[in-house]
Amino acid sequence: MAEGILEIDDSTFESEVLKANQPVMVDFWAPWCGPCKALSPVIEELAGTFGDRVKFTKCNVDDNPVTPGNFGIRSIPTLIFFKNGDVAEQIVGAVAKSKLEAAINSVL
């Protein structure tokens, strides 16, 4: 896992995401997902830029079926931005870095 990006699972989701005192981005992904792999370096770069103000996390949907199910995730990658425990933004698919930056800025 890249520096600054926390791997979370069904058991740590509540404490790491819903109870966090800063905005949190959750990257719902799987190792076999091509678009997820393509998005990964972009997320790492954003974690380097915004990591002091936003917590960056990844949740493997194959290993953790409960959390993606709770949020109705049907395709990956899906990025959900949480603020104060609520969904603030949701992006599905591999998108441009500028779109991710806009979503991050909207939750800050």
CATH topology of domain 5-107: Glutaredoxin (3.40.30)
Q: Residue 69 pLDDT > 90, yes or no?
A: yes
Domain segments of the chain as ranges: 5-107
Catalytic residue among 5, 25, 33, 100: 33
pLDDT tens for each residue of 8-61? 999 999 999 999 999 999 999 999 999 999 999 999 999 999 999 999 999 999
CA distance 88 to 21: 14
Q: Which stretches of the chain are DSSP H helices?
A: 13, 34-50, 66-70, 97-107
Q: What is the pLDDT of residue 2?
A: 67
Catalytic residue among 17, 36, 61, 100: 36
pTM: 0.96
Q: What's the mean per-residue pLDDT of the chain?
A: 96
Give residue 3's pLDDT band: very low, low, confident or very high (50, 70, 90).
confident
Known catalytic membership, residue 59: no
- What are 91's strand-pairing partners? 79
Nearest residue to 70 (alpha-carbon basis) of 28, 33, 24: 28
